[in-house]
Amino acid sequence: MKGRKFAILVSGAPAPGMNAAVLSAAERASSLGAEAIGIMDGFSGLMKGEFNAVPLSGFGLHKAHLTGGCIIGSSKANPASSAEALRNTADVLAANDVDFMLVIGGDDSASALSRLADYAKRMGYAKLCTSFIPKTIDNDLPLPMGTKTLGFETARSAGAKIAETLINDAASDGCWFIATTMGMKTGHIAMGIGKAAEAAVTLVPEAFSKDSKNVISQAAEIIAGSILKRLFCGYSYGVAVVAEGLLHLCEDRIGISAERDSYGNIRLAQFDIAGMLKSEVIKKLRRMKIEIPILCKSIGYEIRGADPCPFDVEYGRNLGYAAAEYLSDGGEGGMIYIENGKTASVQISSLIDPESGRIKMRYLNPESLSFKTAVKYMTMLDKSDFADEFRICRLARMAKMTPAEFRKEFEFSESFSLL
């Protein structure tokens, strides 16, 4: 690496631990004799033919690895959004003699980097070698089972603390909260938060049929059933944690006029998922003559911008070091992760879905011990409730219904039950 240029770029949404990875990679590259630079604000400048970079060799930011956000900025700009953007990005990197480029990002960023690297090689920029650090609170990149993405642990911890305060507030006021979490199409962060905070119920897209046409109504039914069952057990309060990814199950209906980002993803923040669920839950409770205040809370931006926990600080530093070593040893096009305490990598190109042209996603596994344990300790109407005639009569009486009416009202819950 001696005398060569090593560029670091952060792409996509914030995730705790990014700064640790940036600085660690820069320090290791510098120690190997490279000129370490940081590309400012992701791909946004490169796509316009601009090279906005800062020196990172001996950057010396005191304790910057312990802070949230990103010291070199980031963006969701997509260098593969057009032929012109790809050409400008490749040209400006070549013109500024960039030999190695480390990108820290999520699934969209990995897809974009793969296309950029392929384009650069086709255009004859053979010297550009790339590596990638998987960073996202969504934990949805296809790494080996149990391997976390950078930022997930901090986000889960910070989110669980928020959920715990909601439970305390709900217990004091005798109300319910519907807390929606980020996570794109998967439920990793929602399940992690709900399980850690002991939420009454956590709803994730992996628990529903991909062909579901009424997921909001179905989710509302489960929450209403949870409220009723908690009342049956003597508790007039609770928190339901809901993954925003539920909306992706009805993407064919909401996606026509929905606002999208540069990668074509629907901006789920534009939809009031909690509000939709609240409206449906209230309708169901009123049919049961139950009046309980329901409040809404979104958990997302505050957890992805949180200062990293010790795990993500250490993990970021390990990944940054490993990524620089990987490129120094002649590696190219690999996504870096840590397995059994050692550096491991997988070719990004091997993770591309040939149909969509995008990185494959890692979903929660409903058959895993972690998933089953989480569901076991939720408070939902389950098969045992419907199988016990005495219990059904008591629940129906609370709901001001006959047992037959109760079964009809919670028909989906009986078939949905994972317990």
Residue among 93, 158, 132 at smallest CA distance from 11: 132
Q: Which residues contact 233 (CB under 8 A, 6 or more apart)?
A: 379
Angle at 221 between CA 219 and CA 227, to 5 degrees: 105
Side chain identity, residue 288: M
What six digits make up the tokens of 226? 């949870």
Cβ-in-10-Å burial (0-12, 13-18, 19+) of 369 comes to exposed
CA distances from 249 to 186, 244, 271 (A): 11, 10, 14
- Would you tell me how many other CB atoms lie within 10 Å of the CB of residue 169? 15
Residue among 297, 268, 69, 339 at smallest CA distance from 193: 297
Radius of gyration of the chain (CA): 24
DSSP labels, 325-354: HHHHTT--SEEEEEETTEEEEEEGGGGB-T
Number of helices (H) and strands (E), helices first, in the chain?
A: 15, 11
Q: What is the DSSP letter of 359?
A: B
Q: Which residues contact 61 (CB under 8 A, 6 or more apart)?
A: 19, 23, 71
User: Distance between CA atoms of 243 and 284, rounded to whole angstroms?
Assistant: 21
User: Distance between CA atoms of 53 and 6, rounded to whole angstroms?
Assistant: 11
Residue 41 has phi, psi (to 5 degrees) of: 60, 45
Beta strands in 61-175 (DSSP E): 98-105, 129-134
Beta strands in 121-272 (DSSP E): 129-134, 176-181, 201-203, 238-243
CA distances from 334 to 101, 119, 171, 325, 343 (A): 11, 16, 48, 12, 11
Residues designated catalytic: 138
For β-strands 334-339 and 294-299, DSSP reports them as: unpaired
